[in-house]
Amino acid sequence: MQIPVPPVPLPEKVAQVAQEYADGTREPAEPRNAATVVLLRDAAAGSAGGPEVYLMRRQVSMDFAGGMCVFPGGGVDERDFDGTVSWAGPSPAEWARLLGTDEEVARALVCAAVRETFEESGVLLAGPSEDSVVADTTGEDWEADRVALESRELAMTDFLARRGLVLRTDLLGAWSGWLTPVFEPKRYRTWFFVAALPEGQRTRDVSTESSSVVWQGATSAAEDVEASRMAMLPPTYLTCLHVGQHRSVADVLAAADREVAMFMPEVERLDDGFTLTIPEELRPLLAARRP
C-alpha cells in the first residue's frame, strides 16, 4: 500500500473484508515472528532531516511487499533459537523485557536481527570480543559465509563459533513493534531495531530479494513516499518520519532504550472513507504533514 498523503486511504472493499475477520466470518492467518533493523549513519554536516537510513527496494516479483522500499530484515529461523550462540550485551532476560516476549523468543529475535542484517546488507554486528566489532566484511571468505547463511546451509551459531565472534547485542536498540492487520493473507509480528553502521564496515548490494539499495536521509525518504516517488509499507514510512525527528544517530540510539509495544493497525472510519489506525505517539507526526 503506497502512501501519497497521510492518512493512509483504505479501499472500502478492504474495510468490508476486515469486518468479516472482526465478526468471525473469516479466520486470520497466523503471524510469523520477524525482525528488521534500521541501519543508520549520520548525514553530512549541515544536512537537515535526521540521520540517513539504509533502504532496499524489494524485487517486484516478491509475494510480500514487492517493489516496496524496506529495511533489512526477515523471519525468525528455527536455528535462531539456539541457546549456545555467543552473546555480548544485554542478557536475553533484559531483551525479553524490552521486546515484551519470553527469553527464548527474545534471543531468537536478536539473533535473527543480526543474521538478516548481514545477509541483506553485508553489515555484521559482531566482534571478537564484547567491546570490539568486525571492521571489514567485504572479502571473498566473508561473502561465502554470507551466501551460506542466506541459503540456510550455515547456522548463525556455527558461523560465529568458527570465526571466534560474539553477537554485539548492545549495538542494537529496540524501536517498535508492528503486527500485520488481520485482513492480510501473509502476516508478520515484526520487531523493529535500530543500529549504527559500525566504523569501517560498509553496506553492499548483496540481497537476492532487492533490486537496488540506497542510503537516504530519513525525512527525505518519507517525503519521496508522500510525492509518490517511492513506495513503502506504512510502518516503514512512519519509522522514517520518526527517526527523522532526531538530529543524529546517537540521539536515535538514546531514544531506543524503551519497552516495545506490539501495534496492529485496524480499520478506522473517516468522514470520506476509511483508513488504518497508527500508534498514538505517531499521530502528531502525520498531522504535521497534512496540507
Which pLDDT score, from 0 to 100, does residue 46 have? Answer: 66
pLDDT digits (tens, 9 = 90+) for 127-169: 999 999 999 999 999 999 999 999 999 999 999 999 999 999 9
In this prediction the pTM is 0.91
C-alpha distances in Å from residue 189, one per residue of 10, 70, 78, 152, 177: 21, 15, 16, 22, 7
Phi, then psi, of 256 in degrees rounded to 5: -85, 0
Q: What is the DSSP string of 234-289?
A: HHHHHHHHHHTTSSSHHHHHHHT-S---EE---EEEETTEEEE---GGGHHHHHTT
Which pLDDT score, from 0 to 100, does residue 2 have? Answer: 37
Which pLDDT score, from 0 to 100, does residue 5 have? Answer: 40
CATH of domain 33-262: 3.90.79.10
The one-digit pLDDT tens for each residue of the chain (291 residues) are 334 344 566 778 888 888 888 888 888 889 999 999 999 999 887 677 789 999 998 755 445 555 789 999 999 999 999 989 999 999 999 999 999 999 999 999 999 999 999 999 999 999 999 999 999 999 999 999 999 999 999 999 999 999 999 999 999 999 999 999 988 888 999 999 999 999 999 998 766 665 678 999 999 999 998 888 988 888 999 999 999 999 999 999 999 988 999 999 988 887 777 888 889 999 888 888 766
Whether the Cβ atoms of residue 217 and residue 46 lie closer than 8 Å to each other: no
Radius of gyration in angstroms for the set of CA atoms belonging to the chain, rounded to a whole number: 19
- DSSP-derived letter for residue 10 is B
Whether the Cβ atoms of residue 198 and residue 134 lie closer than 8 Å to each other: yes
Domain locations along the chain:
33-262
Which pLDDT score, from 0 to 100, does residue 4 have? Answer: 38
